[in-house]
Amino acid sequence: MVDAEGYRGRREDALTDLAQRLGREGGEDRRPVPVEPMNPHDRRIIHVALAEHEGVRTESDGEGLFRRVVIFPRSRPTPSL
């Protein structure tokens, strides 16, 4: 595997930052946020970055080259009376 001047690490950091920003946006706006289509490795980085995020969940959607991650807000628990 070739990693020209740390490209893979920089790409992973950029995708993690993107995931956190979109996770905040999806959690605040309470609506699904689609991410651009990406390869399986990049989609996994997004899924892992948001796995512990309490306000959102992620799913992959689409087929082939058009497969993307969609960030969904988690439903809020209903308060008990």
Does residue 52 lie within any of the structural domains? yes
Does residue 78 lie within any of the structural domains? no
* Number of domains present in the structure of the chain: 1
Contact in structure between 53 and 25 (CB atoms under 8 Å): no
Does residue 21 lie within any of the structural domains? yes
User: What DSSP string runs through 12-80?
Assistant: HHHHHHHHHHHHHHHHHHTS-EEPPP--HHHHHHHHHHHTT-TTEEEEEESSGGG-EEEEEEPPPPPPP
Does residue 79 lie within any of the structural domains? no
Look at residue 28 in the predicted model and tell me its pLDDT.
83
Residue ranges of the chain whose pLDDT lies below 70: 1-3, 76-81
Does residue 63 lie within any of the structural domains? yes
Look at residue 77 in the predicted model and tell me its pLDDT.
57
pTM of the model: 0.80
Does residue 50 lie within any of the structural domains? yes
Does residue 80 lie within any of the structural domains? no
pLDDT in tens, 41-58: 999 999 999 998 888 999
Full domain range(s) for residue 39: 4-73
